[in-house]
Structure 1
Amino acid sequence: MQTTGYAAQSADSPLKPYSYDCRSLRDEDVAIEILYSGVCHSDLHTARNDWGWTVYPTVPGHEIVGRVIEVGSKVSKYKVGDHVAVGCMVDSCQECQHCHSGEEQFCEEGMTQTYNSPDRITQEITKGGYAKHVVVREEFVLEVPASLDLAKVAPLLCAGITTYSPLRTWDVGPGSKVGVVGMGGLGHMAVKLAVAMGAHVTVLSRSEGKRQDAMDLNADAFLISSDSDAMAQAANHFDLIIDTVPVKHDVTPYFPLLKVDGTIALVGQVGPMAELNSVPMLLGRRRLAGSIIGGIKETQEMLDFCGRFNILPEVEMIKMEQINEAFERLEKADVHYRFVIDMQASNF
């Protein structure tokens, strides 16, 4: 099936229309007409080859909502016309211990990412959601709760599950005290989800600028991390801090804020970290952990949770042909809080 997307041809070139063939439908595959595609900071990093592993041409996009248009002969869960979603993975070995335990993101053979990743069978490089169509293995297609506004669902497939997973891993619930560092696409979802779980939620920011936004999202408190007195008063307070900052930064100042056995979960930064001071870690048996998306079972659980509580990201709708401008704004953190591409309104 031929389709059209927007691709980067090099690290310094703008995204432009690009025609290519989706893979032929296998017996267990679902073909999807893409209706909405979220714009993730990872898309920008990949297009610019910031991480050094981009294969060009690359069609980004791993926050996909669409309509089923064809299914393979062995597909039993979905039918033509169903509204479905696809996140950051489209395949895994399905045989290793992690796949069997529902954590395909840790597949021992390596998950197949939605874009910029070799297909498990053909080795062709996958193309993502900045396109009209995508073909995905049935096990990696997700159901969209009917109660949710379809146009706003896409960012849940990355920003949603990326913040939901550590909240579940560290058993956040009523009585938990959660800090959220950074109030961008990931951070605002962490706040919404933690509040819905019953936690006491504090947003940490370097200045007053995000205070009203935090309160609008129903955060319980706001802590200015550049205020040494306020930071000292908040010592030994949090069970979990979710750090969503996407650039290199010092996490040491946040450790004294944790209770004994508290955790900082890094979900934003990829790559070398600033030098750490181990003293506040040792003195409180505190830990620094990483977390990356979630398995398919947990992602469906997250979607269903959002469906029950009507949790959706704050989004700005754009057309596909506005993606380069959106990337420039994303680089400046000039979005409140996530871009979503409306494919039906786009002309390409």
Structure 2
Amino acid sequence: MSVKAYGAYTCDNPLEPIAIRRRQPGASDVQIEIAYCGVCHSDLHTVRSEWQGTVFPCVPGHEIVGRVSAVGGSVSRFKTGDIVGVGCMVDSCQNCASCAEGLEQYCENGFTGTYNAPTADEPGHTMGGYSERIVVDEKFVLKITHPEEQLAAVAPLLCAGITTYSPLRHWRVGPGMKVGVVGIGGLGHMGIKLAHAMGAEVVAFTTSDSKREAALALGASQVVVSKNKDEMKAHSGTFDFILNTVAASHDLDAFTALLKRDGTLTLVGVPEHAHPSPNVASLIFRRRAIAGSLIGGIAETQEMLDFCAEKGIVSDIEMINIREIDTAYDRMQKGDVKYRFVIDNTSLAA
């Protein structure tokens, strides 16, 4: 079936209207009319070919919220009219040890991304959520129970939310723990909200004093300007866990020095250039760790959505018309958004 979308034919031209093909729902498929799609830095990097391997035409978007319009004959978990979500994955091998443990994001044969991944569907690679409709195997569709008036702000939970929730859960963040969140952007603002909701004492790190009040409003109990050596030193050796959401290359030693013995600094952003090599002695003499984390599996993403619905957590967003997407990309690169753009997909029909 032909579907209206917005995408790019080359990396150096603006996004434009494009007609794409979606498969007819198979036995295990769910067809979704997309209402909202969040805008992620990964979209920008991919469509502008800043990462290797972009296949054109490219239709980005992996923070998808919409309504079920059809289901295959074998589908048991969803029905027409349900409000659902789709995140960064639409398939995985389902056979490896990671998939068996519900960790599809670490699929040992490579998960199928919601866009720019090989597929049997036309045109041979997946097309994402900057479109009217998507068809996805029910195993990779998520139930959304937030109120309808919050659905646009739910969309970024499908990437920014799970990217921060998964490491917080894995390292068992909860009451009695002191947790740092580095960076107050699309990822960081979710990290602050989630860690606070989990009962931790949250300290936000920013390079800009102007973000202090915003971070406190999000749930941080303290804000540290990381450029201020005295403010940093005052927290030396006091953190159980630090979530670092900054994708730009920077000195990690400044943050590992803040960890307690056995504390962990977890990275969720991939820098364009490598971070400077960390001071190994700082790790060895306090048994500290630097770790990484990638989105989350389907079961954990559902857990995150349910947790957020229970706690009333959504992303802070700015809604845009699809024709504003290139301007949104430019603003996003400058950090000029609080904190996530979301596309109103009804604008595709105009």
Normalised by the shorter chain, which TM-score bucket?
over 0.9
Note if 1:37 corresponds to 2:37: yes
SS at match of 2:257: helix
**1:80 equivalent in structure 2:** 80
**1:342 equivalent in structure 2:** 344
**CA offset at residue 123 of structure 1?**
8.3
**1:65 equivalent in structure 2:** 65
Shift in CA distance, 332/271, structure 1 to aligned 2, threshold 3 Å: closer
SS at match of 1:62: coil
Residue correspondence of structure 1 range 175-254 to structure 2 within 5 A: 175-254=176-255
CA RMSD of the aligned region, Å?
1.4
Q: Is the 8 A contact 1:47 1:60 kept in 2?
A: yes
**Percent of aligned pairs with the same amino acid:** 52
Q: 1:319 aligns with which of 313, 318, 321?
A: 321
Looking at structure 2, the residues matched to 186 and 302 of structure 1 have their Cα atoms a distance apart, in angstroms, of 14
Looking at structure 2, the residues matched to 281 and 230 of structure 1 have their Cα atoms a distance apart, in angstroms, of 21
Q: Is the 8 A contact 1:91 1:111 kept in 2?
A: yes
Looking at structure 2, the residues matched to 337 and 10 of structure 1 have their Cα atoms a distance apart, in angstroms, of 28
**CA offset at residue 121 of structure 1?**
7.7
Shift in CA distance, 108/121, structure 1 to aligned 2, threshold 3 Å: farther
Read off the aligned partner of 1:29 and give its amino acid letter.
D
Looking at structure 2, the residues matched to 205 and 198 of structure 1 have their Cα atoms a distance apart, in angstroms, of 21
SS at match of 1:185: coil
Could you tell which deviates more after superposition, 267-276 or 102-111? 267-276
**1:256-294 per-position Cα deviation (integer Å, ceiling 9, x unaligned):** 000111111111224542222222122211111110100
Looking at structure 1, the residues matched to 122 and 341 of structure 2 have their Cα atoms a distance apart, in angstroms, of 32
Shift in CA distance, 342/122, structure 1 to aligned 2, threshold 3 Å: closer
Note if 1:9 corresponds to 2:9: yes
Read off the aligned partner of 2:263 and give its amino acid letter.
G
Q: Is the 8 A contact 2:103 2:298 kept in 1?
A: yes
**2:91 equivalent in structure 1:** 91
Shift in CA distance, 121/129, structure 1 to aligned 2, threshold 3 Å: closer
SS at match of 1:301: helix
Looking at structure 1, the residues matched to 325 and 236 of structure 2 have their Cα atoms a distance apart, in angstroms, of 42
Q: TM-score, normalised by structure 1?
A: 0.97
Q: Which runs of 5+ in 1 are unaligned?
A: none
**1:192-230 per-position Cα deviation (integer Å, ceiling 9, x unaligned):** 000000000000112311101011112100111111122
Read off the aligned partner of 1:323 and give its amino acid letter.
I
Read off the aligned partner of 2:45 and give its amino acid letter.
H
Q: Is the 8 A contact 2:4 2:349 kept in 1?
A: no
SS at match of 1:67: strand
**1:284-333 per-position Cα deviation (integer Å, ceiling 9, x unaligned):** 11111110100000000000000100001100011111111111101111
**1:101-125 per-position Cα deviation (integer Å, ceiling 9, x unaligned):** 1111111111000000012688820
Residue correspondence of structure 1 range 147-162 to structure 2 within 5 A: 147=147, 149-162=150-163
Read off the aligned partner of 1:166 and give its amino acid letter.
P
Note if 1:280 corresponds to 2:282: yes
